[in-house]
């Protein structure tokens, strides 16, 4: 049994049939990477081959054309996807990203990651993901809204509070979620706040959602330091990415006593041996729109960020960055994956051979999907929780998930990544077995 790329598709009526695609040697394919992790976990658990194949195979793959009338009056065509990987444990859950790199394989891999992630933190969701292949920086606000609404219209038959609940991801935010919610509500003829999460408070959002992914990463960082007997105030941290996850992390980790000594964005990286001041960085970034040029910082090539002397490395940008070469030259002794799929298979093998513990993305950045679950539950109940209750439940869920994965890694004598994937696959397999096969 061997997974194939999903990049080449043939449409058959309303269905999309996946076909094998040639994968260039040496090119990281996120779908092949994730599917191989699931297959390996299934074999570790002793699952039958047919069960492993059911778990690996995405349930639905929708590819849509997204025509947009530009401000110039011309119509430009874009391509979008919504993929539901597994819904055996509940409605699909996963973000929507707008980025030039978006592809079938990328979205399929991210949807499978979400299936595992929701199972690992044990919330009643399956996994899904969506995206549009577009550079949103090229679009005006009006063009972005028209693209979002046309995309939402095209995927509307697949999404809903009891089917599939999108959320923000790379280059999407609460504005995009608001437009999606409004579009789907107009189509349904009634208000549907539960169709997306990550919304503004005024239309059914939750006060605890913003920064929840960063909170989860911080909880994981604190938890692993405690288990390794290391003091937080002696840890130097480097963070790749200063966006929705990376920026709050600077403040949160500093508040826990850690010292953020390096950070990178699309314009470059900086090294500040004495530690970055979160408030100074926030002001600098607001003015310069980049971390480069931070007062007193040494400029470092972006691809050399993880060679900076440090104790904890946190990739919080796009996937596939920690390759074999990066892993070999990594200075830190702990990796915490705040991004989705930041480590390639070869990179993971190198980190394991160097005995560098890695808290995988399906655990480390799960705070966001846990917060989305809470927001969705509140929308269905029509009752908003107090911020303190939201935060307490988020911390409890993340701590329980990390503790369980840590113990399973010891019991199975495998890495944290292998243990996390195994736990997710095990829970999906249990739900699949209990539900049986229709017809």
Taking the C-alpha atoms of residue 275 and residue 106, their distance in angstroms, rounded to an integer, is 35
394, 86 in Cβ contact below 8 A?
A: no
Taking the C-alpha atoms of residue 376 and residue 194, their distance in angstroms, rounded to an integer, is 5
316, 335 in Cβ contact below 8 A?
A: no
- On the CB side of 97, CA atoms within 13 Å amount to 21
Q: Are strands 92-99 and 164-168 parallel, antiparallel or unpaired?
A: parallel
> Active-site residue 396, yes or no?
no
Task: Report the candidate in 249, 224, 223 with the shortest Cα–Cα distance to residue 237.
Answer: 249
Q: Which helix (H) or strand (E) holds 285?
A: helix 278-288
| Active-site choice (11, 93, 117, 129) | 129
Q: Which helix (H) or strand (E) holds 336?
A: strand 334-336
Taking the C-alpha atoms of residue 127 and residue 111, their distance in angstroms, rounded to an integer, is 5
Q: Are strands 127-133 and 75-86 parallel, antiparallel or unpaired?
A: antiparallel
* β-bridge mates for residue 130, sequence order: 82, 96
Taking the C-alpha atoms of residue 154 and residue 107, their distance in angstroms, rounded to an integer, is 16
127, 94 in Cβ contact below 8 A?
A: yes
What DSSP assignment string belongs to 104-165? Answer: HHHHHHHHHHHHHHHHHTT-S--EEEEEEE--GGGS-HHHHHHHHHHHHHHHGGG-BTTTEE
Question: What's the burial of 270, exposed, middle or buried (CB within 10 Å: 0-12/13-18/19+)?
Answer: buried
Distances (CA, A) of 363 to 345, 376, 384, 401, 427: 18, 20, 26, 7, 15
SS3 241: coil
The answer for residues whose C-beta is within 8 angstroms of residue 60's C-beta and 6 or more apart is: 82, 83, 84, 158
Task: Report the candidate in 207, 118, 216, 204 with the shortest Cα–Cα distance to residue 161.
Answer: 204
- On the CB side of 43, CA atoms within 13 Å amount to 7
Question: Catalytic residue numbers?
Answer: 129
């Amino acid at each position: 049994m061997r997974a194939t790329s999903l990049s080449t598709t043939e449409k058959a009526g309303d269905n999309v049939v996946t076909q094998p695609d040639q994968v260039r040697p040496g090119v990281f394919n996120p779908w092949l990477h994730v599917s191989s992790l699931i297959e390996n976990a299934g074999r570790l658990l002793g699952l039958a081959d047919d069960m492993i194949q059911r778990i690996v195979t995405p349930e639905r793959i929708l590819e849509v054309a997204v025509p947009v009338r530009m401000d110039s009056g011309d119509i430009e065509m874009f391509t979008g996807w919504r993929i539901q990987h597994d819904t055996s444990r509940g409605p699909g859950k996963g973000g929507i990203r707008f980025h030039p790199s978006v592809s079938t394989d990328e979205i399929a891999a991210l949807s499978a990651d979400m299936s595992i992630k929701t199972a690992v933190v044990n919330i009643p969701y399956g996994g899904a993901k969506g995206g549009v292949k577009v550079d949103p920086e090229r679009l005006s606000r009006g063009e972005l809204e028209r693209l979002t609404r046309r995309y939402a219209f095209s995927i509307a038959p697949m999404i809903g509070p009891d089917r599939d609940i999108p959320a923000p991801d790379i280059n999407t935010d609460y504005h995009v979620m608001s437009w999606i919610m409004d579009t789907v509500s107009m189509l349904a003829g009634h208000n549907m706040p539960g169709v997306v999460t990550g919304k503004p408070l005024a239309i059914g959002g939750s006060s605890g959602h913003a920064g929840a992914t960063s909170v989860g990463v911080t909880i994981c960082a604190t938890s692993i330091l405690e288990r390794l007997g290391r003091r937080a105030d002696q840890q130097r941290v480097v963070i790749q990415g200063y966006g929705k996850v990376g920026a709050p992390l600077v403040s949160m980790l500093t508040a826990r006593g850690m010292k953020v000594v390096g950070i990178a964005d699309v314009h470059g990286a900086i090294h500040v041996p004495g530690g970055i001041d979160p408030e100074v960085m926030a002001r600098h970034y607001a003015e310069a729109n980049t971390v480069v040029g931070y007062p007193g910082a040494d400029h470092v090539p972006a691809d050399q960020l993880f060679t900076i002397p440090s104790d904890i490395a946190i990739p919080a940008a796009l996937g596939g960055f920690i390759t074999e070469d990066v892993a070999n030259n990594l200075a830190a002794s702990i990796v915490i994956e705040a991004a989705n799929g930041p480590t390639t298979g070869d990179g993971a093998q190198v980190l394991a051979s160097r005995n560098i513990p890695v808290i995988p993305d399906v655990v480390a950045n799960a705070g966001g999907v846990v917060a989305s679950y809470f927001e969705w539950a509140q929308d269905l109940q029509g009752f908003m929780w107090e911020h303190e209750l939201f935060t307490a439940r988020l911390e409890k869920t993340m701590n329980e998930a990390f503790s369980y994965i840590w113990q399973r890694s010891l019991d199975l004598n495998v890495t944290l990544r292998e243990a996390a994937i195994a736990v997710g696959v095990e829970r999906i397999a249990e739900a699949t077995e209990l539900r049986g096969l229709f017809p």
